[in-house]
Every structure is written in structure tokens, then in C-alpha cells.
Amino acid sequence: MKALASVLILAGVVVSSHAHATCVYPKAPDKLPDGATATKEEMIAAQKMVKAYNDDIKAYTDCLKLEHDETMKAESGKSDKEKMSKEQREELEKVTVQKNNAAVDEAENVTARFNEQIRAFNAKSKPKS
């Protein structure tokens, strides 16, 4: 029963600390062109789309850091009774890091997929020797 109460308190802190969440996870590009068949214009449009997505991911991770820092700053102004427990602070830190890492991993994946298509596009454009 004590463990359940701890979990419920922790869940409440995580929910309440994220209730004001303003960080919106950006949507990855739906589809990248096939470099083997795409036109130059399609590849340029995709490049712009991937760059915009990477900029959105950067804004998202910056927002996560700001949100985390604001929560920690608000905590410092609370009385000892009102403050999060060490476990709650660790959980908040863990969740923030997981969100950040997931976003960065996805952005790297999108960029790597696009780079594959650039190589395919360049390969079809090279004159045969």
C-alpha cells in the first residue's frame, strides 16, 4: 500500500509538472523522395523539409530544457514540505532526458534516411565511365 501511495504521488508530480507543458513534439516528414527516381526539385524540397524538421527538433529540445529548468527553479522557492522528493526529482530528470534523446534519435534517423536518398540521387546523376 505504501508503494502504491508513492507511485500515485510520483505520478501526480510528473503530471502536474507537465500540465503546463508547452513543448510540442514535432512531426517527422511523412515521406522522403526516392533518390533513384526523384527530380532535383523534389530533392531540394525534401532538403528544406528535413532542415525545417531538424530546426523544430532543436526548438523542442530547447523547450524541454527550459521547462525542466523552470520546474527546478520553482522547486527551489518552495518550503521543504512542498518540494518534490529526491525520487520525484530523479524521475523528472529521467523523463526529460528520455524525451530529449528520443527526439534527437529520430532526427538523426530522418537525416540518415535523407542522406541515403541523396547518395542514390547523386549516383544516378553521375556519368557512366
pLDDT tens profile 26-49: 999 999 999 999 999 999 999 999
Tell me the per-residue pLDDT of 79-105, one tens digit each, with 9 for 90 and over. 888 888 889 989 999 999 999 999 999
pTM for the full model? 0.76
pLDDT for the residue 32 = 97
Q: How far is CA 46 from CA 42, 51, 107, in A?
A: 6, 8, 14
Cα-Cα-Cα-Cα torsion 80, 86, 92, 93, nearest 10 degrees, comes to 120
Domain that holds residue 31: 2-125
- Give first-to-last CA distance, the chain, whole Å: 75
The Cα–Cα gap between 75 and 93 comes to: 13
Q: Using only C-alpha atoms, what is the Rg of the chain?
A: 22
Number of domains in the chain: 1
